[in-house]
Amino acid sequence: MVGADVAFQVSGKQFMAHRCVLAARSPVFMVELYGRPMEESSTNHVIRIDDMEPKVFEALLSFIYTDSFPKMKKQDEVAMAQHLLGAAERYDLKRLRLMCEDKLCRHVSKSNVTDMLTLVDQRPSCQGLKKACFEFLLKSPKVLSEVVAMEAFDHLIKELSLSTLAARG
């Protein structure tokens, strides 16, 4: 990448980027890249990110450079939106967070509503997704009873109970 001046090592894969672009789009990158002195010259400095999949970081960079949700296969959109939601919050990318939440709201189904509610529990800023999940569950008694009968619903209730206890303690 011409003019790239920062490298990221993401779970074994290297990505090059432009510090000024990253900093302009993300207050977190601004602090990380300009807010404190770097140990080496900026062209030799590699930032390690070991808690993110390379394809998610690549999608994050794509959003930063294009201001649009990355193109991908339809079947990959929900999983990517879930992962990108975490990355958007991590790097304080409000527009990407809203785009991910919107995409997730449009894909709530019986098979994933419990996963979506677990995600909402982990990310309280996603009130739109929470509303979409409850609207989905309450749209008919049949849908609600089918979801409540699922093993995943029992797991959700246990997870929510544990997170409530942890928040109190």
pLDDT in tens, 120-141: 888 888 999 999 999 998 888 8
Higher pLDDT, 79 or 160: 79
Contact residues for 69 (Cβ-Cβ < 8 A; gap 6+): 63, 81, 96, 99, 100, 103
Print the domain residue range for 164: 111-169
Beta strand pairing call for 13-17 and 6-10: antiparallel
Domain total of the chain: 1
Tell me if 38 is assigned to some domain.
Answer: no
Tell me if 149 is assigned to some domain.
Answer: yes
Tell me if 139 is assigned to some domain.
Answer: yes
Give me the pLDDT at residue 42, please. Answer: 45
User: Does pLDDT of 102 surpass 90?
Assistant: yes
Tell me if 1 is assigned to some domain.
Answer: no
116, 124, 54, 58: which is closest to 82 by C-alpha?
116
Tell me if 16 is assigned to some domain.
Answer: no
User: Does pLDDT of 162 surpass 70?
Assistant: no
Tell me if 158 is assigned to some domain.
Answer: yes
Two tokens at 101?
């939440």
Give, as one character, the DSSP assignment of residue 10: E
| Residue percentage of the chain with pLDDT more than 90 | 54
Q: Residue 35: which pLDDT band, with cuts at 50, 70 and 90?
A: confident
Q: What number of residues does the chain have?
A: 169
Tell me if 29 is assigned to some domain.
Answer: no
Tell me if 159 is assigned to some domain.
Answer: yes
The pTM of the full predicted model, rounded to 2 decimals, is 0.79
